[in-house]
Structure formats: structure tokens, C-alpha cells
């Protein structure tokens, strides 16, 4: 497959949408900072990479994500303005002015405090719980998919969100997938509990608990180190994060149990 460069600034993506800057490229998608002439404001446009435009499955995947985002209305999930099918599939979302949790953790001189970690966990539990009540699981919770903006965590990528059921092996981000997701088992709400646990573990320690690249899926080979073995934190916080990372999905806390453990530590509801 020949690789084609992202669209340049001032290129029209669709009528009324002009590229300001290319933001990010994945294996499948390009993300642009764009100007909306209708709104007279900047927005974010997610598009297929040019060489992927002829792939029907990828086109359907992007359109499905856009339609799902448009159906959701939660302060912890990025807002979608519209989904376009012509001249190509595009998903238009609001511009967020914060930074990803991945960048925040890397930038800060000191790690997040126990209270900040608990509050982040409550924010994620709120957004993920809403998604679950709408009949979907996220399956790709990671610091780079969460933006911290004005005191709120927002999920920005629902590209592999789906209804609970059997997953194809390895669909997700390798070091963040729950064990059942990595092996291609039945995935449901506990897989997202695992995702919240990995995010909190990394936000606390500055690195993922499963970074061994010598094996395909280290989470299938070993348990995550206990959080208190890495840094001193309130025991209740460390214990609930450790429980989120139980290899057996049935041993992980439910979202209500997770919230009940975090609320006293955060000092406020998420």
C-alpha cells in the first residue's frame, strides 16, 4: 500500500471545512484541526488516510464511530457535530483546549496526587458508565484517549467501541487491553474497568504496568505490580486500582463499587 501525505493547510476536506493543521496520524485515520465556515470556529475532523479511502470496512468503521458519538450526550465524552459521507467519510467534533492525560503525566514534575487520581477515576467512571447504559463498551481506554480540560476528563476516541460480546483477538492497544480482550474472549463492562485501572496505574506511576515488548501480550503472562509497590498512596486507592487489574474479569469491581471506593478519596463526586 502506497503511503500518501496528509492533506495540507488550506485544503478543503468537504464544503465548509478547511484544514488548518494536521494533528495526528494512526494506521487508519488522519485527524485535522479545521475551520468550519458555518460555525465560524475551529473544529476537529477525523478522516481516513487517503490510501484507506477505497476500503469499505474502514469507511463503515469511521461512519459508525461518528453516528455513535452523535447519539451520545455526556460532559465526559467529546461532542460530535456531524458525520459526513460525501465527498468522503468525515467525523466533525468539538475542539478541546486541554491536553491528553498522557501528555499531562509526562509534563508534570510531580505525579498526580491521590486525590487527583481518585477524581480522575470518578470522571472516567461517569463517562464509561453512561456509555455502558447506552449498550456499548469502549475497549480502548488509555491516557492518550483522554483529554483533561477545565477540570474534567473527556474521552476522545470511540473507534473500536462496540456492544458487549466476543471480540476478535488483539483489537485494541496491546498494553492496555484486558486479558479477555487480548485473547479474543467475551468482552463486557469488566474490560472497561480494567481500562480505567490501567489509566490510573499509569497516571500514578508514569508508565504502563505492561510494557514488556518481548511478549505479544504481557497482561496474559503476568499480573500488574501492586500499585503500593511502586509509590506510597492511600491504601484504599491502591487496593481498588489493583482490583481493577485482576486477570479474572469476575474479580474486578463493578462501576458502583469503584465509585464507592473513590468518592471519599476525591472529596467530591465526579
Instruction: Read off the pLDDT of residues 129-177 as tens digits, 9 standing for 90 and up.
Output: 999 999 999 999 999 999 999 889 999 999 999 999 998 988 999 899 9
Q: Is the pTM of this model over 0.85?
A: yes
- In the prediction, which pLDDT does 245 show? 98
- The set of residues, in sequence order, having a beta carbon less than 8 Å from that of 113 and lying 6+ positions away, is none
Where do the structural domains in the chain lie, given as residue ranges?
Answer: 12-93, 99-266
Residue 165 class from Cβ within 10 Å (0-12 exposed, 13-18 middle, 19+ buried)? exposed
Query: What is residue 269's predicted lDDT score, i.e. its pLDDT?
Result: 45
- At 2 the pLDDT is 66
Please give the angle made by the CA atoms of 48, 79 and 95, to the nearest 5 degrees: 70
Tell me the pairing of strands 29-36 and 12-14: unpaired
Q: What is the pLDDT of residue 141?
A: 98
> Is 12-93 assigned to CATH 3.40.1260.10?
no
Instruction: Quote the CA–CA distance of 22 and 45 in Å, as a whole number.
Output: 10
CATH architecture of structural domain 99-266: Orthogonal Bundle (1.10)
Q: What is the pLDDT of residues 231-255, one digit of tens each?
A: 999 999 999 999 999 999 999 999 9
pLDDT tens per residue, range 32-89? 999 999 999 999 999 999 999 999 999 999 999 999 999 999 999 999 999 999 999 9
At residue 1 the predicted structure's pLDDT band, cuts being 50, 70 and 90, is low
Percent of the chain with pLDDT over 70: 98
- Same fold across 12-93 and 99-266: no
Residue 255's DSSP bridge partners are none
Contact 125, 85 (CB under 8 A): no
Amino acid at each position: 500500500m502506497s503511503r500518501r501525505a496528509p492533506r495540507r493547510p488550506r485544503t478543503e476536506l468537504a464544503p465548509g471545512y478547511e484544514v488548518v493543521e494536521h494533528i495526528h496520524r494512526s494506521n487508519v485515520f488522519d485527524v485535522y484541526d479545521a475551520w468550519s465556515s458555518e460555525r465560524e470556529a475551529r473544529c476537529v475532523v477525523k478522516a481516513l488516510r487517503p490510501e484507506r479511502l477505497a476500503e469499505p470496512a474502514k469507511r463503515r468503521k469511521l461512519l459508525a464511530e461518528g453516528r455513535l458519538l452523535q447519539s451520545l450526550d455526556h460532559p465526559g465524552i467529546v461532542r460530535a457535530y456531524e458525520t459526513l459521507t460525501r465527498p468522503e467519510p468525515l467525523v466533525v467534533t468539538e475542539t478541546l483546549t486541554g491536553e491528553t492525560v498522557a501528555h499531562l503525566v509526562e509534563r508534570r514534575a510531580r505525579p498526580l496526587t491521590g486525590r487527583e487520581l481518585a477524581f480522575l477515576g470518578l470522571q472516567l467512571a461517569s463517562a464509561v458508565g453512561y456509555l455502558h447504559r447506552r449498550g456499548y463498551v469502549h475497549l480502548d481506554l488509555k491516557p492518550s484517549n483522554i483529554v483533561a480540560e477545565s477540570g474534567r476528563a473527556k474521552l476522545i476516541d470511540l473507534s473500536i467501541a462496540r456492544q458487549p460480546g466476543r471480540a476478535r483477538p488483539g483489537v485494541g492497544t496491546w498494553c492496555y487491553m484486558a486479558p479477555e480482550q487480548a485473547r479474543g474472549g467475551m468482552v463486557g463492562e469488566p474490560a472497561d474497568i480494567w481500562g480505567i485501572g490501567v489509566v490510573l496505574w499509569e497516571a500514578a506511576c508514569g508508565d504502563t504496568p505492561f510494557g514488556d515488548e518481548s511478549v505479544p501480550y504481557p497482561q496474559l503472562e503476568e499480573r500488574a505490580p501492586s500499585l503500593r509497590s511502586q509509590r506510597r498512596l492511600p491504601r484504599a486507592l491502591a487496593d481498588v486500582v489493583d482490583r481493577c487489574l485482576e486477570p479474572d474479569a469476575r474479580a474486578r469491581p463493578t462501576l458502583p463499587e469503584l465509585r464507592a471506593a473513590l468518592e471519599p478519596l476525591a472529596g467530591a463526586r465526579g
